[in-house]
């Protein structure tokens, strides 16, 4: 890591039990015995054990129960033997914590009761304080103790993706209200994403302070923007988030879907590792992101519905393309999240295959 990074606010942080894990070594571009692998949305509806423990508990409520969060986060680690756990929560949990009326509707996604469209609406987005989320600190603490040498990835939604839900009021295909504000009221937009940058930074800090050893910033829907617009309207806010967590010196991953044209800028925002969807081969992504950064990805999730030998051929293609990075700095993942109808056994087999095929 660069020596220009200032010391963590709490002084020299002790190296956690996961420091020498394959995942964190790869993230630091150190030699690894095999390529590490985890899956976005690895915890969730593809797992029968998840459906069982979630029965009758609304999504957002489940995120506030530390024992349940611990159990759900551990489920895919136990089952698939992935190299990292991702904290079970949601990108809208910090919005709920500052008082936004948000719900997650099954099969739909986050729905906001009163969308944020005006300057007056902005007042509802107050800063996030650590005391707003005692359940997050508790859940991360429980998890880190139980995970031992397996790293825990903390995460948050990036300002643009969060803004898209807040302004549209829910999921969207074309982001017309969001873009209307971005193009038509640039000052209001800048203030909105700046407030969101602060909330997101606070959410990530809470997770890191409690023991998360890497973070991922999800700008899932940033691919809706042209590079110039991203640079002007989104990059400053996302950069603010990466800068805010830089002092902790944990690897920072930045991911979005359909972001082939944005990969360079998403790296510039301050990521150590850029997540790539399946549309851009990793050797091409490496050129776009530039030297010194790692890559995460990027098997097309839908490949998992094909026969095993096809999954393995396609996974091997990903590993080969990653050799452009020079043998380290690659974290294997899907190009987007696990889908609810996926066969969990296919995912378990894929983890074993990636470990075997990349052994060195
Ligand atoms: O396993 C993990 O990856 C950790 C948990 C996690 C969830 N959401 C749990 C969840 C993570 C990292 C997220 C991030 C998230 N949430 C993103 C970024 C990742 C991405 O997919 O691009 C986004 C855009 C959201 C918003 C959101 N929350 C959506 C679109 C949905 C799906 C709606 C649906 O029902 O299909 C949710 C709900 C959600 N978040 C579920 C889970 C497991 C499903 C709800 C349920 O199980 O009842």
**Residue 3: what pLDDT?**
38
Kindly state the average pLDDT of the residues 314-326: 94
Atom of ligand 1 nearest to the CA of 43: 1
- Whether the pLDDT of residue 352 is over 70: the answer is yes
- CB-neighbour burial class of residue 47 (10 A; exposed 0-12, middle 13-18, buried 19+): buried
* Cβ contact 214:84 at 8 Å: yes
- Catalytically active residues, by annotation: 41, 45, 54, 90, 165
- Whether the pLDDT of residue 5 is over 60: the answer is no
Confidence band of 326 (pLDDT split at 50, 70, 90)? confident
- Whether the pLDDT of residue 8 is over 70: the answer is no
Lookup result for tokens 């640079």: 231
Q: How many residues does the chain have?
A: 360
Give the three-class secondary structure for 320: helix
How close is the Cα of 47 to the center of ligand 1, in Å?
14
Kindly state the average pLDDT of the residues 205-220: 98
Per-residue pLDDT reduced to its tens digit, 237-276: 999 999 999 999 999 999 999 999 999 999 999 999 999 9
**Residue 9: what pLDDT?**
53
Lookup result for tokens 């950069």: 239
How does the average pLDDT of the chain come out, rounded? Answer: 95
Statement: the pTM of the whole predicted model exceeds 0.75? yes
Of all protein residues, the one whose alpha carbon is nearest to atom 23 of ligand 1 is 91
Atom of ligand 1 nearest to the CA of 105: 35
Per-residue pLDDT reduced to its tens digit, 261-318: 999 999 999 999 999 999 999 999 999 999 999 999 999 999 999 999 999 999 999 9
Of all protein residues, the one whose alpha carbon is nearest to atom 4 of ligand 1 is 88
How close is the Cα of 97 to the center of ligand 1, in Å?
17
Q: State which of 104, 163, 219 you would mutate to test the pocket of ligand 1, scoring each by most atoms of that ligand within 8 A of its C-beta.
A: 104
Per-residue pLDDT reduced to its tens digit, 154-212: 999 999 999 999 999 999 999 999 999 999 999 999 999 999 999 999 999 999 999 99
**Residue 256: what pLDDT?**
98
Cα 214 to chain centroid distance, Å, stands at 10
Of all protein residues, the one whose alpha carbon is nearest to atom 40 of ligand 1 is 90
**Residue 215: what pLDDT?**
98
Ligand 1 interacting residues, C-beta cut-off 6 A: 40-45, 59, 86, 88, 90-91, 104, 106-110, 155, 218, 220, 337
How close is the Cα of 292 to the center of ligand 1, in Å?
30
How close is the Cα of 320 to the center of ligand 1, in Å?
30
Kindly state the average pLDDT of the residues 27-36: 96
Q: State which of 56, 109, 111, 222 you would mutate to test the pocket of ligand 1, scoring each by most atoms of that ligand within 8 A of its C-beta.
A: 109
How close is the Cα of 41 to the center of ligand 1, in Å?
7
Percentage of residues in the chain with pLDDT exceeding 70?
96
- CB-neighbour burial class of residue 300 (10 A; exposed 0-12, middle 13-18, buried 19+): middle
**Residue 324: what pLDDT?**
82
Of all protein residues, the one whose alpha carbon is nearest to atom 36 of ligand 1 is 107
Kindly state the average pLDDT of the residues 22-43: 97
Atom of ligand 1 nearest to the CA of 155: 12
Atom of ligand 1 nearest to the CA of 76: 1
**Residue 10: what pLDDT?**
52
How close is the Cα of 313 to the center of ligand 1, in Å?
28
**Residue 210: what pLDDT?**
97
* Phi, psi for residue 39 in degrees, rounded to 5: -125, 135
Q: State which of 41, 50, 108 you would mutate to test the pocket of ligand 1, scoring each by most atoms of that ligand within 8 A of its C-beta.
A: 41
- CB-neighbour burial class of residue 360 (10 A; exposed 0-12, middle 13-18, buried 19+): exposed
Atom of ligand 1 nearest to the CA of 109: 33
How close is the Cα of 45 to the center of ligand 1, in Å?
10
Contacts for 272 with CB less than 8 Å, ≥ 6 apart: 1, 27, 251, 252, 253, 293, 294
CA distance 134 to 298: 34
**Residue 7: what pLDDT?**
46
Of all protein residues, the one whose alpha carbon is nearest to atom 24 of ligand 1 is 220
CA distance 314 to 207: 34
Per-residue pLDDT reduced to its tens digit, 119-160: 999 999 999 998 999 999 999 999 999 999 999 999 999 999
């Amino acid at each position: 890591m660069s020596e220009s990074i200032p010391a963590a606010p709490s002084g020299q942080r002790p190296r956690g039990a996961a420091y020498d894990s394959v995942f964190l070594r790869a993230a630091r571009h150190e030699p690894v015995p095999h390529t590490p692998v985890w899956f976005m949305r690895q915890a969730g509806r593809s797992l029968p054990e998840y459906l069982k423990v979630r029965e009758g508990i609304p999504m957002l409520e489940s995120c506030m129960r530390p024992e349940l969060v611990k159990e759900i986060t551990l489920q895919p680690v136990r089952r698939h033997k992935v190299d990292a756990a991702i904290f079970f929560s949601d990108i809208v949990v910090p919005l709920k914590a500052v008082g936004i009326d948000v719900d997650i509707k099954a099969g739909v996604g986050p729905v906001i009761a009163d969308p944020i469209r005006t300057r007056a609406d902005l007042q509802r987005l107050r800063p996030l304080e650590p005391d707003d989320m005692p359940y997050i600190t508790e859940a991360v603490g429980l998890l880190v103790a139980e995970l031992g040498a397996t790293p825990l990835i903390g995460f948050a939604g990036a300002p643009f993706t969060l803004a898209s839900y807040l302004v549209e009021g829910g999921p969207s295909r074309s982001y017309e209200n969001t873009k209307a504000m971005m193009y038509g009221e640039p000052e209001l937009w800048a203030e909105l994403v700046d407030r969101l940058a602060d909330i997101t930074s606070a959410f990530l800090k809470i997770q890191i302070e409690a023991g998360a050893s890497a973070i991922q910033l999800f700008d899932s829907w940033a691919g809706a923007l042209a590079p110039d617009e991203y640079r002007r309207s989104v990059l400053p806010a996302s950069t603010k988030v990466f800068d805010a967590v830089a002092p902790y010196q944990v690897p920072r991953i930045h991911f979005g879907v359909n972001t082939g044209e944005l990969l360079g800028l998403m790296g510039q925002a301050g990521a150590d590792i850029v997540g790539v969807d399946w549309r851009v081969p990793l050797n091409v992504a490496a050129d776009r992101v530039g030297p010194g950064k790692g890559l995460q990805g990027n098997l097309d999730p839908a490949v998992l519905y094909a026969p095993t030998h096809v999954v393995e051929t396609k996974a091997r293609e990903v590993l080969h393309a990653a050799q452009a990075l020079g043998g380290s700095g690659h974290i294997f993942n899907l190009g987007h999240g696990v889908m609810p109808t996926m066969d969990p056994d296919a995912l378990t087999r894929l983890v074993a295959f990636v470990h075997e095929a990349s052994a060195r």
